[in-house]
Amino acid sequence: MTPTLRKSIPHILMMAYVVVILAPFLFILFSSFKADNLAIALHPFGLPKKWEFENYREAWVKAKINVYFFNSLYLAFSSAVVGVLMAAATAFALVRMKFGRISAWIYQFVLIGMLIPGNVLFIAQYLLVQKLGILGTHWSLFLPYTAGALPFSVLLICAFMRSIPRELEEAAIVDGMNVLRMFGQIVLPLTVPALVTVFIVNFLGNWNEYLLSFFFISKDSLRTLPAGMVQFRDAFQTNYALICTGIVFSVLPVLVLYMFLQRKIIEGLTAGSIKG
In terms of average pLDDT, the best of 14-18, 47-51, 98-102 is 14-18
Residue 111 lies in a domain: yes
In terms of average pLDDT, the best of 19-28, 34-43, 125-134 is 125-134
Print the domain residue range for 144.
63-275
Higher-scoring residue by pLDDT: 148, 4:
148
Q: For residue range 166-215, list pLDDT tens digits in order.
A: 888 778 788 787 888 888 888 888 888 888 889 988 998 899 898 899 89
Q: For residue range 225-270, list pLDDT tens digits in order.
A: 888 888 776 666 667 888 888 888 888 878 887 777 777 667 666 6
Q: Collapsing DSSP states into helix, strand and coil, what is residue 43? A: coil
Residue 29 lies in a domain: no
Residue 247 lies in a domain: yes
Residue 20 lies in a domain: no
- Statement: residue 275 has pLDDT above 70: no
pLDDT at position 268 is 63
Question: What are the residues whose beta carbons fall under 8 Å from the beta carbon of 79, sequence distance 6 or more?
Answer: 141, 142, 145, 146, 149, 202, 206
Q: For residue range 117-159, list pLDDT tens digits in order.
A: 878 888 999 999 999 999 989 999 999 999 988 999 998 898 8
Instruction: Please spell the DSSP secondary structure of 166-223, one letter per residue.
Output: HHHHHHHHHTT--HHHHIIIIIHHHTHHHHHHHHHHHHHHHHH--HHHHHH---GGG-
Q: How many domains does the chain have?
A: 1
Residue 128 lies in a domain: yes
CATH number assigned to the domain comprising residue 249: 1.10.3720.10
Instruction: Please spell the DSSP secondary structure of 5-17, one letter per residue.
Output: HHHHHHHHHHHHH
- pTM for the model: 0.82
Q: CA-to-CA distance for 182 and 65, rounded, in angstroms?
A: 44
Residue 216 lies in a domain: yes
Residue 55 lies in a domain: no
pLDDT at position 269 is 64
Residue 177 lies in a domain: yes
pLDDT at position 241 is 83
